[in-house]
Amino acid sequence: MGPETRAMQDDETTNPALFSLLDGEALWKRAEGASAVACAGCHGDGRESMQGVATRYPRVVGGKLMNLEQRINACRVERQKAAPIPYESKELLALTAYVGRQSRGLPIAIEADATNQRYIDAGRVRFERRQGQLNLACAQCHDENWGKSLAGTPIPQAHPTGYPLYRLEWQSLGSLERRLRNCMIGVRAEPYTYGAPEMVELELYLMWRARGMKLETPAVRP
């Protein structure tokens, strides 16, 4: 990202994700479902209770690997008795961005342990495995050729430090899974569905690779 994009990201008054954050805050405070309870009803002020939460996801909860979007929906179903919010919807992106915003500037804190090692290993296999009609692996671009250009666009190191983020190409907020699916389609592979275990394992591996880096949610990217 160039200096103009970084300046847009770091100034919350010009960050185009500002309105999504405001929507997320409103959703946090709104009572939902048969339980008629808001996220704030259990967790209080999200600016305090959600600090550091996004740095630890994806994580194993109740024996299942979940990303942050899935954890939010699990709370809706179990606690609020409400329907899950659809993947990549304006509402789920806004609520996830709001929760993620409370960890902005904190280091990613995912460590390999007995509960998640096999999922990290599975994500690594997918990152390094060739796929699609172009027979390319994620690692070929993001490990072997980072810093170079592909069709005039710089190749990054695949650090997922800012999701959900506002991508100027999309003119909207988007999740890490949306970006991963774009790459899969780009190499002419069949993309995994949103929330698929394979996708969450890949998310975990990428976040583990980026451990120690600071979260920038909601970031701005070209």
pLDDT in tens, 161-216: 999 999 999 999 999 999 999 999 999 999 999 999 999 999 999 999 999 999 99
Q: Tell me the pTM.
A: 0.94
Residue 70 near residue 17, CB atoms below 8 Å: no
> pLDDT category, 1, cuts 50, 70, 90?
confident
Per the domain annotation, does 74 fall within a domain?
yes
**DSSP-derived 3-state class of residue 136:** strand
> Do 158 and 210 belong together in one domain?
yes
> Do 131 and 214 belong together in one domain?
yes
Per the domain annotation, does 41 fall within a domain?
yes
Number of domains in the chain: 2
CATH number at residue 141: 1.10.760.10
Q: What is residue 220's predicted lDDT score, i.e. its pLDDT?
A: 96
Report d(CA 67, CA 143) in Å as an integer.
24
Is the pLDDT at 144 greater than 90? The verdict is yes
Report d(CA 190, CA 13) in Å as an integer.
39
Per the domain annotation, does 111 fall within a domain?
no
> Do 87 and 125 belong together in one domain?
no
189 is in which domain, residue-wise?
117-221
Comparing 5-14, 42-51, 156-165, the range with the smallest average pLDDT is 5-14
Q: Name the average pLDDT for the chain.
A: 96
Q: Which residues are catalytic?
A: 183
